[in-house]
């Protein structure tokens, strides 16, 4: 279904999700928040199902520790490629559409994992299904960054991040209830349910106004650039619009921010997914916890993580994005060795809760911090590319941690993860300025592009006027 929009040069054909700004009210952002929050809950569930299934998968398929780690690495590699392509889809087709179809895709693919009969089948299907996971995180955060005003944007986005953590808790409870009695396959079968939710909810959330405005300007530029405008007796051919990647890498600041965020994301996710993938196994094997006790401890850590994300969002709005992000990463780096060297049966619960709180802080801030580093017309592609190229680097984390741990213990593995967190704090601390763009404004990559588009509109309008003006006698 297409919409028509009158323009100086004629009628523009708009996609069905463009030109729907009249549906946006002062409360629409709340509906968008619910949609994005539940989507991130589903995302969190899917991410953690593999972690809680690793011990069962190792037993069923006879896997080494390194092979088990490769399952996590294949997931991250798929998420990275999915996030890059999802960022492009986010800018081209819309934030809401990308979220909905990502949920549908990975829900179906995760369900199919329950039918696999070999390690190789599981590895390949997990890699493919993770494409949808990678798209979702970036699209949800971009959607909300463009709906929420600057003064409390990070508070809302920090709260949004708790959706993923709620998903971790749901997955933990599901694993504790299903795996001991019904096995790991049943855990994957139930993931088909969220697909219906995503398609239903997509109908009630319009795309953000800033994205629609930027999209309309891009369509104008493309259509005007493709036309041959007739002015008096001169034929003027307009140049086609630049590709989105040229707008990113041809823009000095965007290129710099892209590379810095890509590096930051690689180290942040190396630490984050290394912990996510191996902490349950560490508690089971090194600390000899039974499965149900381990899930109880993990619920406590994830509950603290929710609080950490919410308070980080509030602190980032009050004191700044950069200082909050750096504090969270450096504090997490410092605390990882404490868990290894100072845990006892009596204090492990307190250590995990404290770690969960600190662990959540960077993810309560980074979505807003990154979103405000790029203009609206390239935001989805730039964030998706930088964050997920960084995820490609982090894809080695589960296998690397598994390889190190196979040498004797998790001590060195946790120190390596702490070092990654520290570097993830140093890079933005020194090099990434906050609040560079306002996501609620339909800002283009450069002022020159805006002036070029305005000039094209003026030329088109003058041409129309000349064609419409009746001839006069000399």
User: How sure is the predictor about 451, in pLDDT bands with cuts at 50, 70 and 90?
Assistant: very low
Residue 220 maps to a domain: no
Q: Is the pLDDT of residue 336 over 70?
A: yes
Please check whether residue 46 is in contact with residue 257, taking contact to mean a CB–CB distance below 8 angstroms: no
Mean pLDDT of 138-153: 87
pTM: 0.72
Q: Give pLDDT, residue 236.
A: 36
Joined together, the tokens standing for residue 307 give 């609080």
Range of the domain at 292: 24-203+244-431
Q: Give pLDDT, residue 328.
A: 97
Q: Is the pLDDT of residue 460 over 90?
A: no
Pairwise CA distance, residues 328 & 272, whole Å: 12
Q: Which of 9-18, 53-62, 249-258, 358-367 has the weakest average pLDDT?
A: 9-18
Query: Would you tell me how many other CB atoms lie within 10 Å of the CB of residue 382?
Result: 32
Joined together, the tokens standing for residue 1 give 């279904």
Q: Give pLDDT, residue 206.
A: 93
Q: Which helix (H) or strand (E) holds 401?
A: helix 396-406
Mean pLDDT of 103-113: 93
* DSSP string for 333-397: HHHHHHHHHH--TTTHHHHHHHHHHHHHHHHHHHHHHHHTTS-TTTHHHHHHHHHHHHHHHHTHH
pLDDT per residue as tens digits for the range 383-419: 888 988 887 767 788 778 778 877 666 788 888 999 9
Q: What is the residue-averaged pLDDT of the chain?
A: 83
pLDDT per residue as tens digits for the range 248-289: 998 899 999 999 999 999 999 899 888 877 787 788 778 888
Q: Is the pLDDT of residue 325 over 90?
A: yes
Q: Give pLDDT, residue 116.
A: 94
Residue 73 maps to a domain: yes
296 compared with 304, residue with greater pLDDT: 304
Give the chain's domain count: 1
Q: Which of 11-20, 175-184, 224-233, 359-368 has the weakest average pLDDT?
A: 224-233
Mean pLDDT of 144-156: 87
Q: Which of 11-25, 72-86, 400-414 has the weakest average pLDDT?
A: 400-414
Please check whether residue 149 is in contact with residue 438, taking contact to mean a CB–CB distance below 8 angstroms: no
Mean pLDDT of 358-381: 91
Q: Give pLDDT, residue 470.
A: 43
Q: Is the pLDDT of residue 8 over 60?
A: no
User: How sure is the predictor about 3, in pLDDT bands with cuts at 50, 70 and 90?
Assistant: low
Q: Is the pLDDT of residue 197 over 80?
A: yes
Q: Is the pLDDT of residue 68 over 90?
A: no
Q: Give pLDDT, residue 233.
A: 40
Pairwise CA distance, residues 116 & 124, whole Å: 10
Pairwise CA distance, residues 244 & 383, whole Å: 13
Residue 441 maps to a domain: no
287 compared with 436, residue with greater pLDDT: 436
User: 3-state class of 336 per DSSP?
Assistant: helix
* DSSP string for 171-236: HHHHHHHHHHHH-HHHHHHGGGTHHHHHHHHGGG-PPPHHHHHHHHHHHHHHHHHHSEEEETTEEE
Q: Is the pLDDT of residue 189 over 90?
A: yes
Q: Is the pLDDT of residue 459 over 70?
A: no
Per-residue b or e along 34-69, where b marks 16 or more CB atoms closer than 10 Å to that residue's CB: ebbbbbbbbbbbbbbbbbbbbbbbbebbebebebbb
Q: Is the pLDDT of residue 210 over 80?
A: yes
Q: Is the pLDDT of residue 297 over 60?
A: yes
Tokens 């996971």 locate to 133
Q: Give pLDDT, residue 426.
A: 97
Residue 219 maps to a domain: no
Going by C-alpha positions, the residue among 57, 73, 52, 47 that lies closest to residue 281 is: 52
For residue 15, what are the β-bridge partners?
Answer: 2
User: How sure is the predictor about 225, in pLDDT bands with cuts at 50, 70 and 90?
Assistant: low
Please check whether residue 60 is in contact with residue 119, taking contact to mean a CB–CB distance below 8 angstroms: no
**CATH classification of the domain holding 78:** 1.20.1250.20
Q: Give pLDDT, residue 6.
A: 54
Residue 410 maps to a domain: yes
Q: Is the pLDDT of residue 461 over 60?
A: no
Residue 225 maps to a domain: no
Q: Give pLDDT, residue 402.
A: 78
Residue 451 maps to a domain: no
Give me the numbers of helices (H) and strands (E) for the chain, helices first please: 17, 4
Q: Which of 61-65, 241-245, 307-311, 318-322 has the weakest average pLDDT?
A: 241-245
Pairwise CA distance, residues 193 & 108, whole Å: 9
Q: Give pLDDT, residue 468.
A: 43
Mean pLDDT of 219-232: 58
Q: Is the pLDDT of residue 317 over 90?
A: yes
Residue 37 maps to a domain: yes
């Amino acid at each position: 279904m297409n919409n028509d929009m009158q323009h100086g040069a004629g009628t523009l054909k708009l996609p069905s999700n463009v030109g729907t700004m009249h549906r946006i009210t002062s409360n629409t952002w709340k509906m968008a928040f619910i949609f994005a929050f539940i989507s991130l809950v589903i995302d969190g569930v899917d991410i953690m199902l593999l972690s809680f299934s690793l011990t069962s998968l190792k037993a069923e398929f006879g896997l080494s520790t390194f092979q088990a780690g490769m399952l996590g690495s294949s997931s991250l590699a798929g998420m990275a490629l999915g996030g890059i392509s999802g960022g492009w889809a986010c800018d081209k087709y819309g934030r809401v559409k990308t979220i909905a179809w990502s949920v549908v895709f990975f829900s179906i693919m995760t369900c199919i994992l329950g039918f696999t009969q070999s390690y190789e089948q599981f590895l390949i299907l997990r890699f493919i299904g993770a494409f949808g996971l990678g798209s979702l995180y970036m699209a949800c955060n971009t959607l909300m960054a463009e709906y929420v005003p600057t003064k409390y944007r990070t508070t809302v986005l920090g709260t949004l991040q708790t959706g993923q953590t709620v998903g971790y808790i749901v997955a933990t409870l599901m694993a504790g209830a299903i795996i001991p009695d019904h096995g790991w396959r049943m855990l994957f079968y139930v993931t088909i349910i969220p697909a219906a939710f995503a398609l239903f909810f997509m109908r009630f959330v319009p795309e953000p106004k800033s994205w629609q405005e930027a999209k309309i300007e891009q369509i104008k530029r493309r259509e005007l650039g493709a036309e041959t405008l007739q002015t008096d007796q001169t034929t003027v051919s307009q140049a086609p619009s630049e590709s989105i990647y040229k707008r990113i890498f041809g823009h000095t600041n965007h290129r710099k921010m892209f590379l810095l965020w890509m590096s930051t994301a690689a180290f942040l996710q190396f630490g984050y997914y290394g912990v996510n993938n191996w902490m349950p196994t560490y508690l089971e094997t090194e600390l000899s916890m039974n499965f149900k006790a381990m899930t109880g401890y993990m619920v406590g850590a994830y509950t603290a993580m929710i609080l950490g994300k919410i308070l980080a969002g509030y602190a980032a709005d009050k004191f700044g994005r950069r200082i909050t992000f750096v504090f969270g990463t450096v504090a997490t780096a410092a605390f990882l060795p404490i868990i290894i060297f100072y845990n006892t049966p009596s204090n492990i619960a307190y250590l995990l809760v404290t770690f969960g709180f600190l662990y959540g802080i960077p993810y309560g801030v980074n979505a807003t911090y990154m979103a405000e580093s790029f203009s609206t017309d390239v935001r989805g592609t730039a964030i998706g590319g930088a964050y997920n190229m960084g995820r490609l680097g982090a894809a080695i984390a589960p296998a690397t941690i598994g390889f190190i741990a196979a040498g004797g213990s998790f001590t060195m593995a946790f120190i390596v993860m702490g070092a990654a967190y520290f570097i993830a704090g140093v890079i933005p601390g020194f090099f990434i300025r906050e609040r560079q763009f306002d996501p609620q404004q339909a800002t283009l990559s450069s002022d020159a592009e805006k002036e070029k588009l305005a000039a094209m509109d003026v030329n088109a309008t003058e041409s129309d006027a000349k064609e419409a003006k009746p001839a006069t006698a000399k």
